[in-house]
Amino acid sequence: MTSESTLTIRLCGTNDWEDLRVIRLEALSDTPDAYGSTYEESLRWSDAQWKNAASTRLYYLADRDGRVVGMVSGGFNDAYPGTRWLYAMYVTPSERGTGTAVLLVRSIGEWAKGHGVDEVYLHVGSSVLRARAFYEKVGFRPNGESFQMERDHSLTLITMVQQLD
């Protein structure tokens, strides 16, 4: 008898703050060049700060058999009025290549469509080749814009956009 593994993507809420903390810290440790904040900064966050992030920011969590294995956040960008953005995506190494990342990207796309837009933007670090290749695979294309990361000027961010169906 075999048991099937179950993957769910869920909107993060206040009660998910501990799961968010675990997967976010894993992400920052695994791929530090990919994020605007650092592991050390986030490790110092209080429980109240994590609860606030879980309840006020848009996060989706990927859960396989009761264990959080991925996350993605989305939101607005005041520098680009009217646009919707994918931020802070991560999938734990054992989950890569399973389709989990595609489902997380899709959740942000569905959220964006719900806001009446037909494209999603993101910034990806030029040094994070695996992430850029994945984003291109799922339909994101560079829009010609790049700039230095605010927290580390040695890192370059490339802006990409995906047209939604």
Q: Which residues pair with 60 in a beta bridge?
A: 11, 72
Report the alpha-carbon distance of residue 149 to residue 34 in Å, rounded. 10
- 95-124 mean pLDDT: 96
pLDDT band at 159 (very low <50, low <70, confident <90, very high): very high
- To 5 degrees, how large is the angle CA 60–CA 148–CA 79? 60
Q: Does domain 7-163 have CATH number 3.30.365.10?
A: no
The predicted-structure confidence for 82-108, as pLDDT tens digits, reads as follows 999 999 999 999 999 999 999 999 999
For 13-28, what is each residue's pLDDT tens digit?
999 999 999 999 999 9
Between CA 51 and CA 13 the distance in angstroms is: 8
- Nearest in space to 4 (alpha carbons), one of 60, 61, 64: 64
Show me where the domains of the chain are located.
7-163
Answer whether 6's CB lies under 8 Å from 75's CB.
no
Q: What does the mean pLDDT of the chain come to?
A: 93
pLDDT interval class at 3 (50, 70, 90):
low
Percent of the chain with pLDDT over 70: 98
pLDDT value at 33 more than 80: yes
pLDDT tens track for 50-60? 999 999 999 99
